[in-house]
Chain A
Amino acid sequence: KAGVTQTPRYLIKTRGQQVTLSCSPISGHRSVSWYQQTPGQGLQFLFEYFSETQRNKGNFPGRFSGRQFSNSRSEMNVSTLELGDSALYLCASSATPTGHTFYGYTFGSGTRLTVV
């Protein structure tokens, strides 16, 4: 079956711009979580959506937002980009909400965002 699809794979943006990243989970999965990975901070949780509802949010500024559609696809948006937003953004898919999975989480290939 198809895995988790993230688009685009690479993005270069200028400071102050905004960006939208997309994540399509495995068919039938209703939970999508987003993570930011940087060399300095490692992997940090951004937010999780389950059945179009945001269940929880990590410790990130309000410039980071997301949503989930009825087909479970999710988007995350970062407004007013800063240099420090340069990172690999990963989404993870699971059939059940975080903390309730028996099969773990499947990650997409990620979107590499570079802010210049």
Chain B
Amino acid sequence: ELKVEQNPLFLSMQEGKNYTIYCNYSTTSDRLYWYRQDPGKSLESLFVLLSNGAVKQEGRLMASLDTKARLSTLHITAAVHDLSATYFCAVDGDPNSGYALNFGKGTSLLVTP
């Protein structure tokens, strides 16, 4: 059974600080996705990582993928309040499941003054 584990699940950080969210997965998938969800809202695509060593950056967020370690990181630089949200990583499942997306439980981020 494919497992996607995120940590931490809850993160409270001060504005201006840096932090990293980790996403470990158990499949050999080389495709990983990061999404953001605001309360009561849908999932907003942040990053699509398609190969080992992929690194993408958008504003204060940077995501990377290490398929050998089956690990992706989402790094937050100089956090601001607007980044408060829940962040999910997801991987394509195995062929037997038709590659259905498997999500982590999400990291609930709160950025405080």
On whether the beta carbons of B48 and A102 are closer than 8 Å, the reply is yes
Q: Does A58 contact B (CB under 8 A)?
A: yes
Q: Does B68 contact A (CB under 8 A)?
A: no
On whether the beta carbons of B45 and A43 are closer than 8 Å, the reply is no
Which chain B residues lie closer than 8 Å to A56 at the CB level? 97-100
The interface-forming segment of A14-22, A64-72, A93-101 is A93-101
Which chain A residues lie closer than 8 Å to B97 at the CB level? 45, 56
Q: A35-B101, A97-B99, A99-B31 are in contact. Are A104 and B92 (CB under 8 A)?
A: no
In the complex, chain B residues 14-73 whose Cβ is within 8 Å of any chain A Cβ: 31, 33, 35, 41-45, 48, 50
Contact of B106 among A35, A42, A109 (CB under 8 A): A42
On whether the beta carbons of A45 and B42 are closer than 8 Å, the reply is no
Q: A92-B101, A108-B42 are in contact. Are A102 and B95 (CB under 8 A)?
A: no
On whether the beta carbons of B42 and A103 are closer than 8 Å, the reply is no
Which chain A residues lie closer than 8 Å to B105 at the CB level? 42
User: For this complex, into which size category does the number of interface residues on chain A fall?
Assistant: 20 to 34
Which chain B residues lie closer than 8 Å to A33 at the CB level? 100-101
Which chain B residues lie closer than 8 Å to A104 at the CB level? 33, 45, 48
- In the complex, what distance in Å separates the CA atom of A97 from the CA atom of B93? 12
In the complex, chain A residues 35-59 whose Cβ is within 8 Å of any chain B Cβ: 35, 42-43, 45, 48, 55-56, 58
In the complex, chain A residues 79-105 whose Cβ is within 8 Å of any chain B Cβ: 90, 92, 97-105
For the A-B complex with A45-B101, A100-B99 known, give 15 more contacts whose Cβ atoms are closer than 8 Å: A33-B101, A42-B105, A42-B106, A43-B88, A45-B93, A45-B97, A56-B97, A97-B98, A99-B99, A102-B48, A102-B50, A103-B48, A105-B33, A106-B45, A109-B41
Q: Enumerate chain A interface residues (CB-CB to B < 8 A).
A: 33, 35, 42-43, 45, 48, 55-56, 58, 90, 92, 97-110
